Chains A and B, each alone.
Chain A
């Protein structure tokens, strides 16, 4: 779904979202309340400039509109793969964006992530995955990398990975797999405006993704292991 259609469905009461060089910003109205919108489009590669631009928008919201909810719209091909970005410390720019979002959350801003097209690795962990809760549209693609590249690096034949991907959510791309593993709160099938309103009402700053992944059977060990470490107990056989 393109961002214009998305924005009009999310905000039937109106919005000012606009695009500038793959960066999305503006506001929308949900249940009479103004929501800040920050994001990317066109499968944006996240280089240092767009990471910093998004951080600027988050900080501006925190300074100028304390408490205003923030919606992060995710469409990215991941971090930009250039020598210049690495030389200038792209990990610092991305971490900065992640810290700004985390800070906004701690200042009482409700933060919702929405993968409306594509989400990949570094572009995702410092945006949608830093929100109170992250959602996706049913056709969204979410992955770390494609199976052919994964086959090359892990030296496991691609056919084998493709076969395993059918039963194990741990490698295969797709919103459904991230849902099962607790990385996504839910998939929004219909009435996006109502879904957004509900997400904002239910937003909770506590990170419950491991518990969700356990309940949904997609990550069976993360929760018991973290629990065992934090309580000093052993992992019980599941």
Chain B
């Protein structure tokens, strides 16, 4: 059993998919690197920070990708984004059983900002294309860089998000908000506040992530299998799905819009002893909050 957080992208792929079943598309040996980094004297990577391919999950053909947080924080550039989009297209063409996205990204790679922004929008649309073909898309988030910016949006285009407590899912990073509006707005060095605001437990309570697991690769693998099984047959987005999500988001705004900090929200939800929430193990946590969390169908 290994810590998902401590694994790199390749190790995660190797442990989440069936042993030695993953075939990488356009592997590092193909030497396809970002065309934009050299002119900025930035290092390149032979996989441009993302692994895409096809493997087996309990014997079923599942397409997948894993972003490497160790290379530019998993940020999306032209090649990185095109690999994701191409894999998603191929998943539709080959009628994959499911698609598994192991996301870890700061969002758009600023060194190639415009190309990265368009690429993220292409990835969002490609994810929705996969779902429209009836193929479940499951996102796993548990890397140290979290899942931010455009990839935080793209993640929410999937059917299911599985997170660990250590995973973070949001839009703008705390540093960006602190830079824009000062330390009183968001103290990026207050790690406990950062975790309460963007971490897996808060996202699970609000209904932004559907499964919360302990930080180990086996737990992520099992959750992915459960998520895929639960989604088969209704992966495509329907008007009813959108209306349910709309109601959830409108209700959240109405009920928690005046909260000053996440723990106030947990209190308003009726969770007993909200101050103890950050200390609970994943299993104890999910059991205790089950009756209170939002977005559960």
A positions within 8 Å CB-CB of B: 48-49, 52, 55-56, 59, 62-63, 79, 81-96, 98-100, 102-103, 106, 121-122, 124-126, 129-130, 142-145, 150, 153-154, 156, 160, 164, 168-172, 177-178, 181-183, 207, 209-210, 213, 219-223, 225-232, 234-235
Contact, CB under 8 Å: B177 / A83: yes
Shortest CB-to-CB span from A95 to chain B, Å, is 3
**Who on chain B is nearest to A153 by CB?**
B110
Which 5 residue pairs spanning A and B have beta carbons closest together?
A229-B86, A95-B156, A226-B86, A144-B113, A91-B152
Question: CB-CB < 8 A to B119: which residues of A?
Answer: 222
CB-contacts of B66-123 with A (<8 A):
78-79, 81-83, 85-87, 89-90, 93, 108, 110-122
User: A82-B177, A222-B79, A235-B26 in contact; A91/B156 too (CB < 8 A)?
Assistant: yes
Determine whether B221 belongs to the interface, using a CB cutoff of 8 Å to chain A.
no
Question: CB-CB < 8 A to A171: which residues of B?
Answer: 111-114
Question: CB-CB < 8 A to A213: which residues of B?
Answer: 115, 118
**How many B residues touch A, CB cutoff 8 Å?**
83
Shortest CB-to-CB span from A106 to chain B, Å, is 6
User: A83-B185, A168-B36 in contact; A92/B239 too (CB < 8 A)?
Assistant: no
The answer, among A154, A172, A227, for a CB contact under 8 Å with B86, is A227
Shortest CB-to-CB span from B55 to chain A, Å, is 15
Q: How many A-B residue pairs have CB under 8 A?
A: 247
The answer, among B39, B90, B155, B250, for a CB contact under 8 Å with A91, is B155
Binding stretch for chain A, among B7-15, B240-248, B267-275, B279-287? B240-248
The answer, among A89, A122, A222, for a CB contact under 8 Å with B82, is A222
Shortest CB-to-CB span from B86 to chain A, Å, is 3
Contact, CB under 8 Å: B25 / A88: no
Shortest CB-to-CB span from B253 to chain A, Å, is 6
Binding stretch for chain A, among B124-132, B212-220, B225-233? B124-132
B positions within 8 Å CB-CB of A: 25-26, 30, 32, 35-36, 39-42, 52, 78-79, 81-83, 85-87, 89-90, 93, 108, 110-122, 124-126, 128-129, 132, 149-150, 152-157, 169-172, 174, 176-177, 180-181, 185-186, 197-198, 202-203, 206, 208, 237, 239, 242-243, 245-246, 249-250, 252-253, 256-257, 259, 261-262, 265
Contact, CB under 8 Å: A228 / B114: no
Question: CB-CB < 8 A to B129: which residues of A?
Answer: 207
A15 and B180 alpha carbons, distance in the complex (Å): 38
